Amino acid sequence: MASFKEHVGFSGLLGVGYGLAATFMFGFQPTQAAVAGYLAGVGGMLPDLDSPTGKPGQEIFSLTAAVVPLVLIGYVLKWAGLPTDTETVMLTLLLMYFAIRYGGSWLVAQLCIHRGMFHSIPAMLIAAEATYLFYPSDELSVKLLMSGAVTIGFFSHLFLDEIYSVGWSGPIPKLKKSFGTALKLYGTKFGPAAFAYALLAFMTFVTLEDAGIIGPPEPRQATSPSGDETEDSENPPDFQQSSEALPLQSASRTPDELTDAPRFQTQ
């Protein structure tokens, strides 16, 4: 398999290219492109999270423990209903760091075998969807940029692992025993694969719902100023119409509008 340095070098290089393309071809801010390039580099390390006892594993866990709390701190504070004063934020960040650095690596060491489901296409998609969901931005294009960066980095790792499992020394390339263990769709054990696919299915559902592709429109749209304005301007005429006209009207509405509680309070 490729070494830690080779993985980081390769995914980092891809990240630089990705960042440059994002700025000069797609008009993203240079700072956004820099973060994207960095995330591509980190994505290239993620699959080796499954070997937390080795030096690369420790390095990756330290880095993950430092980066993840910064991204998630807003969600955690909101979810736990904590105040946002400096000390609470600092203590929460520290707590998250230790939980990931030591708790997380201990858990992974108990549960995972190297080159298990962490080295797989489903794991790559899970990482991409997690980035999309948790990246703190309201702009769809920025979320997609970051999620794409992690995907590229992650894929580069799997790709490099496969390249290294081909022996190029002889006249005919020989496949080593490890061939096919990185770029795979399922592992040798049922449990981890089933867990990975269950998680992938759940994450995909949440992601598609968040993007407004399936289910009711995302909450963000409902709370946005423009959304409120159109709703408000549509609502008043509804209240003034006669009760005979209502059944016909409501039949033509989408299920989301039908469950809109305030509209029925005046009846």
**Total residues at interface with Zn ion (CB under 5 A):** 3
Part in contact with Zn ion (CB under 5 A); list of ranges 35-43, 44-52, 124-132, 203-211: 44-52
**Selected range binding Zn ion among 48-56, 69-77, 168-176, 201-209, rule: CB under 5 A:** 48-56
* Shortest distance (Å) from residue 161 CB to Zn ion: 4
Question: CB of 122 within 8 A of CB of 200?
Answer: yes
Is residue 50 near Zn ion by the rule CB under 5 A? no
Closer residue to Zn ion in complex, CB, 96/160: 160
Residue 101 vs 115, nearer CB to Zn ion: 115
Shortest Å distance, C-beta 157 to Zn ion: 6
Q: Which residue lies nearer to Zn ion by CB, 97 or 179?
A: 179
Q: 47, 123 in Cβ contact below 8 A? A: yes
CB of 51 to Zn ion, least distance (A): 8
177: which DSSP letter? T
Tell me the Ramachandran region of residue 54: left when phi exceeds 0, alpha when psi lies from -120 to 50, beta otherwise: beta
Taking the least distance from each CB to Zn ion, the nearer of 48 and 210 is 48
Q: Enter the tokens of residue 73.
A: 């701190």
Question: Which stretch in 28-36, 39-47, 129-137, 201-209 sits in contact with Zn ion by CB under 5 A?
Answer: 39-47
Phi, psi for 89 (deg, rounded to 5): -60, -45
For residues 32 and 249, give the distance between their C-alpha atoms in angstroms, rounded to a whole number.
46
Q: What is the biggest distance separating any 2 CA atoms in the chain, rounded to whole angstroms? A: 85
Q: Show the tokens assigned to 8.
A: 């980081």
Find the binder of Zn ion among 50, 129, 161, 210 (CB under 5 A): 161
Q: Which residue is nearest to Zn ion (CB)?
A: 161
Mark out the alpha helices in the chain (DSSP H runs).
4-24, 30-43, 55-80, 86-98, 105-111, 121-134, 140-164, 190-210, 219-223, 225-240, 245-251, 255-258
Residues in touch with Zn ion (CB under 5 A): 47-48, 161
